Amino acid sequence: MNGLLRRAGGALGVPAVLFAGVVVAASLATTGPPSLERLAVGGLVNVVLVVGLYVFVGNSGVWSFGHMSFALIGGYVAGLLALPARLKGQLLPDAPALVRDLHSGPFVAVVVGGLAAAVVALVVAVPLSRIGGLSAGLATVSLLIAISAVAAQWQSVTRGQKGLSSIPTSTTMPVALAWVLVALLIAWTYQRSSYGIRLRASKSDEIAAAASGVSVPVQRGVAFVLSAFLTGIGGALFALQLGSINPDVFYLDYTFLIITMLVLGGAGSLTGAVAGSVAVSVLAEVLRRAEGGSLLGLPVPSRPGLADVVLGVVLVVMLLRRPGGLTGGRELRLPRRRGERHRPPTVIPDASEESALAGAVAGAGPEPRREDS
């Protein structure tokens, strides 16, 4: 039993340390005014969204610019479920009876919001999983535009551009932390599973992975659906924190903010996803206050648009000087216990190593023998 617990602790060591770091950062925010705590909760929601995007992008190497459409779906579904039936009868008199009558607690609303996003992802994953590169990026942008247009025009259910309001708020600091832990565990378990290994092999060398017996479209589809589920949960948490949602919330601005977090932290590792989301959340808030004329408590000239300019410059400099992000695509390296065998840090292996590992997982057979010269 002790050996099993030690192995479990080692396997979950990275997400545990990452979660501890997030808890420390969030705890510091609780020592400030209530507004700072609300911003910290929003930062935790961003962590869930970035981790959700990482599950697909970080493991497949295919960039998606439309993942916020799943956050929009999750937010609307959770908001509709959280709204009391009496209030929905007033706000949505023309909605179907099923929409008006259904009501649930916040936990169920968040889970169902994630599942609704996963169902939509399952439908679109069939064509999207077969394309990559620029074509995949354009296709996901089209998905974001389409979902936003539906939300803006479906007056009877979403109230169009007015959006949903008066949603009971329930995303507190403990709730957000709990969902961050869930997202980290799901992402870490997936990337260490046989599905994650096969997908990462296709990321390094798609042709070699396919030759090793990996079905690249299937593996991308699995990651896409799981990623959409976590992103939908993030959108649901957002709606239940803000108390309202509209079609413009999760559009291009939020999309590029989440992508910036992932790129700056390092899209190749879960550690990078968490580090980037925390770092950019803090930097964006400092810049936002500077825009309003206050920098670290000191009065400064207000500069509207400063946050967007600085984040853009930081992103360009990072792409030029350190394309792998803050972590360089590496996971957190944990100290070894006394007597434990040496294990190399978790890094992204090269194409030949990943393809060979994927072939072994997929049952492609042993490596060919080397002939003596």
Residue 338 lies in a domain: no
Residue 166 lies in a domain: yes
Average pLDDT over residues 297-305: 69
Range of the domain at 180: 14-249
Contacts 24+ apart (CB under 8 A), 123-130: 125/220, 125/221, 125/224, 125/225, 126/221, 128/220, 128/224, 129/216, 129/217, 129/218, 129/220, 129/221, 129/224, 130/217
Alpha carbons 228 and 222: distance in angstroms, whole number: 10
- Kindly report, residue by residue over 24-73, the tens digit of the pLDDT: 988 888 877 787 888 899 999 999 999 999 999 999 999 999 999 999 99
Alpha carbons 226 and 129: distance in angstroms, whole number: 13
- Kindly report, residue by residue over 252-291, the tens digit of the pLDDT: 889 999 999 999 999 989 999 999 999 998 888 888 877 7
Residue 302 lies in a domain: no
Residue 202 lies in a domain: yes
Average pLDDT over residues 325-337: 78
3-state secondary structure of 343: coil
- Check residue 337 and give its pLDDT: 57
Number of independent structural domains in the chain: 1
Residue 371 — pLDDT band, cuts 50, 70, 90? Answer: very low
3-state secondary structure of 333: coil
Residue 299 or 25, more confident? 25
Residue 215 lies in a domain: yes
- Check residue 254 and give its pLDDT: 92
- Check residue 6 and give its pLDDT: 44
Q: Tell me which residue of 140, 234, 137, 132 sits closest to 186, measured CA to CA.
A: 234
- Check residue 88 and give its pLDDT: 87
Window from 98-112, 240-254, 306-320 with minimum mean pLDDT: 306-320
Residue 188 lies in a domain: yes
C-beta of residue 231 within 8 angstroms of C-beta of residue 52 = yes
- pTM of structure: 0.86
Window from 8-12, 197-201, 249-253, 339-343 with minimum mean pLDDT: 339-343
Q: Is the pLDDT of residue 115 over 60?
A: yes
- Kindly report, residue by residue over 128-146, the tens digit of the pLDDT: 888 877 888 889 999 999 9
- Check residue 349 and give its pLDDT: 46
- Check residue 373 and give its pLDDT: 38
Give the distance from CA 122 to its chain's centroid.
Answer: 17
Q: Is the pLDDT of residue 341 over 60?
A: no
Q: Is the pLDDT of residue 155 over 80?
A: yes
Q: Is the pLDDT of residue 112 over 70?
A: yes
Q: Is the pLDDT of residue 98 over 50?
A: yes
- Check residue 296 and give its pLDDT: 61
Q: How many residues does the chain have?
A: 373
Helical ranges in 129-269 per DSSP H: 133-153, 155-158, 173-192, 194-204, 206-211, 216-242, 252-265
Residue 106 lies in a domain: yes
Window from 56-60, 116-120, 203-207 with minimum mean pLDDT: 203-207
- Check residue 360 and give its pLDDT: 47
Residue 350 lies in a domain: no
> What type of residue is 30?
T
Q: What percent of the chain clears pLDDT 70, i.e. is strictly above it?
A: 84
Average pLDDT over residues 10-21: 85
